[in-house]
């Protein structure tokens, strides 16, 4: 009986001691009080999760895959070179959207409400418009990859971080420097060539195509050019025979084709087959993916065709100073023996800007990041960015004008060693461009 009583007493004392110890300790997860008496927030050590969809399959998959490669490389750059975001590791959470706008709202709802991502990257090009309302509804922020329209910025403002566009040229911003290049023809024409006068435009029947028309067409007309042909086409148009036949009839001085890579390749193949060329051929597919443009293995053209003097924008400019630009260029040179294309660069810059903005803000809070982007200029892999009042780019930046100028067209290979930025002057690394050489 005495032993039993002693045992009960001992257990009771132990329980009381443990309760006292628990009552006197502060749980590790509870924030310590600050000097003003308020609880200070606990800094998370969990990874920062960036959510997105990428076009990994479907009609423009190879372009979407390039954007994805750029984003993945930027995550590596941020983690290894920048120390992550506020010391936290960065990871991507993503789904394949198959370039299907109908799937995108559901996928972005899932990223936000189920996956609980910290912030978002956009889908590739025009389908980003389907994600924008979901982002805004959930008070999130989305960093755009190759956004080709300003419509979402007009509707949702700074929730949409549109690195590629300003509020003047909007969807035509990619073509500002190219249009200026031809308007300034006499400044770079050292060969006594006659200034081109007529332009044929093959455009896309999407918001991007109409924003190009709204900005580029008036600019060209104001500078003395005549638009002799302008027609819209659905992406992946198919047979270009009737269009090339029409171009052979009207013989424009400049052919301007601002559309996807696959259509660009098919157009040039048909032009060669039908022995058609214009003195100046502005082909967007070349700018989007110069790696594939000169490489049949990647869906492009034989180099002797691909390097026949086409013009496009030059996102990669060797004279532009940026540590991340050099990092990206070294990666592409080693892997592809070429220069970075637009998709790779834009995928990289979306992650890069998000990380640099969050580090400048000291937080992944949406408003703090917006404040950092409106009050700072960020030097990115392709050009500078400062946020304007509607989420576009207020920095002084140039896309540039690019052209392949091989020493010997018959010996042209798939490298980017003969790609030059020819405008604007501060980035030009070759004497003026050559007129189209024909076949």
**Confidence check: pLDDT of 416 > 60:** yes
Confidence band, pLDDT 50/70/90 cuts, at residue 43: low
Residue 376 lies in a domain: yes
For residues 134 and 223, state if they share a domain: no
**Confidence check: pLDDT of 419 > 80:** yes
3-state secondary structure of 140: coil
Q: How many structural domains does the chain have?
A: 2
Order of strands across the sheet with 311-313?
Answer: 226-233, 198-204, 254-257, 280-283, 311-313, 401-404, 419-423
Q: What is the mean pLDDT of residues 48-76?
A: 94
Over the stretch 161-208, which tens digit does the pLDDT of each residue have? 999 999 999 999 999 999 999 999 999 988 889 999 999 999 999 889
Confidence band, pLDDT 50/70/90 cuts, at residue 37: low
Residue 11 lies in a domain: no
For residues 188 and 311, state if they share a domain: yes
Q: How far apart are CA 86 and CA 406, in angstroms?
A: 45
Q: How far apart are CA 372 and CA 387, in angstroms?
A: 9
Confidence band, pLDDT 50/70/90 cuts, at residue 60: confident
For residues 280 and 300, state if they share a domain: yes
For residues 75 and 117, state if they share a domain: yes
Residue owning tokens 């990289």: 348
Confidence band, pLDDT 50/70/90 cuts, at residue 6: very low
Range of the domain at 194: 173-319+399-427
Residue 302 lies in a domain: yes
Alpha helices in 362-431 (DSSP H): 366-375
Residue 253 lies in a domain: yes
Confidence band, pLDDT 50/70/90 cuts, at residue 234: confident
- Do residues 406 and 430 lie in contact, with contact meaning Cβ atoms separated by under 8 Å? no
For residues 199 and 75, state if they share a domain: no
Residue 93 lies in a domain: yes
Over the stretch 330-358, which tens digit does the pLDDT of each residue have? 999 999 999 999 999 999 999 999 999 99
For residues 406 and 259, state if they share a domain: yes
For residues 408 and 273, state if they share a domain: yes
Q: How far apart are CA 358 and CA 78, in angstroms?
A: 11
**pTM summary value:** 0.88
For residues 194 and 240, state if they share a domain: yes
* Strand partners of residue 437: none
Residue 414 lies in a domain: yes
pLDDT of residue 282: 97
- Do residues 68 and 347 lie in contact, with contact meaning Cβ atoms separated by under 8 Å? yes
Looking at per-residue pLDDT, the higher value among 45 and 47 belongs to 47
For residues 360 and 313, state if they share a domain: no
pLDDT of residue 307: 94
Q: Residue 284: exposed, middle, or buried by beta-carbon count in 10 A (0-12, 13-18, 19+)? A: buried
User: Quick one: which of 1, 130, 113 has its CA closest to 53?
Assistant: 130
Over the stretch 316-325, which tens digit does the pLDDT of each residue have? 999 999 999 9
Confidence band, pLDDT 50/70/90 cuts, at residue 62: confident
Residue 41 lies in a domain: no
- Do residues 117 and 197 lie in contact, with contact meaning Cβ atoms separated by under 8 Å? no
For residues 312 and 376, state if they share a domain: no
Q: How far apart are CA 355 and CA 196, in angstroms?
A: 44
For residues 326 and 307, state if they share a domain: no
Q: Residue 343: exposed, middle, or buried by beta-carbon count in 10 A (0-12, 13-18, 19+)? A: buried
3-state secondary structure of 396: coil
pLDDT of residue 24: 39
For residues 302 and 180, state if they share a domain: yes
- Beta-carbon contacts of 353 under 8 Å, excluding residues fewer than 6 positions away, are 143, 161, 163, 373, 378, 380, 385
Residue 347 lies in a domain: yes
| Residue 376's CATH number | 3.40.50.2300
Looking at per-residue pLDDT, the higher value among 248 and 9 belongs to 248
């Amino acid at each position: 009986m005495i032993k039993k009583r002693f045992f009960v007493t001992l257990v009771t004392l132990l329980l009381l001691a443990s309760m006292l110890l628990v009552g006197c300790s502060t749980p590790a997860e509870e924030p310590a009080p600050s000097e003003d008496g308020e609880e200070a927030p606990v800094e998370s050590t969990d990874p920062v999760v960036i959510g997105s969809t990428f076009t990994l399959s479907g009609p423009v998959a190879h372009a979407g895959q390039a954007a994805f490669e750029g984003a993945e490389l930027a995550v590596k750059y941020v983690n290894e070179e920048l120390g992550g975001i506020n010391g936290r590791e960065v990871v991507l959470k993503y789904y394949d959207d198959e370039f299907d706008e109908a799937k995108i709202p559901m996928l972005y709802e899932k990223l936000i409400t189920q996956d609980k991502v910290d912030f978002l990257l956009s889908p590739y090009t025009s389908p980003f418009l389907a994600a924008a309302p979901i982002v805004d509804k959930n008070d999130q922020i989305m960093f755009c990859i190759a956004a080709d329209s300003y419509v979402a910025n007009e509707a949702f403002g700074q929730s949409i971080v549109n690195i590629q566009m300003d509020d003047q040229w909007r969807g035509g911003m990619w073509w500002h420097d190219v249009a200026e290049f031809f308007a300034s023809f006499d400044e770079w024409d050292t060969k006594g060539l006659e200034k081109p006068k007529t332009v044929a435009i093959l455009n896309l029947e999407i918001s991007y195509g109409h924003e190009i028309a709204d900005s580029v067409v008036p600019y060209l007309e104001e500078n003395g050019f005549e638009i002799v042909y302008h027609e819209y086409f659905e992406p992946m148009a198919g047979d270009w025979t009737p269009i090339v036949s029409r171009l052979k009839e009207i013989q424009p001085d400049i052919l301007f084709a601002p559309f996807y890579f696959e259509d660009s390749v098919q157009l040039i193949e048909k032009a060669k087959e039908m022995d058609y060329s214009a003195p100046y051929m502005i082909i967007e597919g070349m700018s989007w993916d110069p790696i594939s443009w000169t490489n049949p293995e990647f869906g492009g053209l034989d180099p002797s065709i691909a390097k026949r003097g086409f013009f496009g924008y030059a996102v990669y400019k060797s004279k532009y100073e940026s540590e991340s630009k050099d990092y990206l260029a070294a990666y592409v040179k080693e892997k592809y023996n070429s220069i970075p294309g637009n998709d790779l660069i834009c995928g990289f810059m979306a992650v890069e800007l998000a990380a640099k903005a969050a580090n400048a803000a000291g937080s992944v809070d949406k408003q703090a990041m917006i404040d950092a982007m409106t009050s700072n200029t960020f030097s990115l892999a392709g050009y500078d960015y400062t946020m304007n009042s509607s989420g576009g780019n207020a920095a002084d930046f140039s896309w540039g004008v690019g052209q392949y100028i091989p020493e010997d067209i018959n010996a042209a290979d798939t490298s980017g060693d003969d790609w030059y930025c020819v405008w604007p002057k501060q980035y030009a690394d070759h004497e003026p461009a050559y007129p189209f050489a024909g076949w």
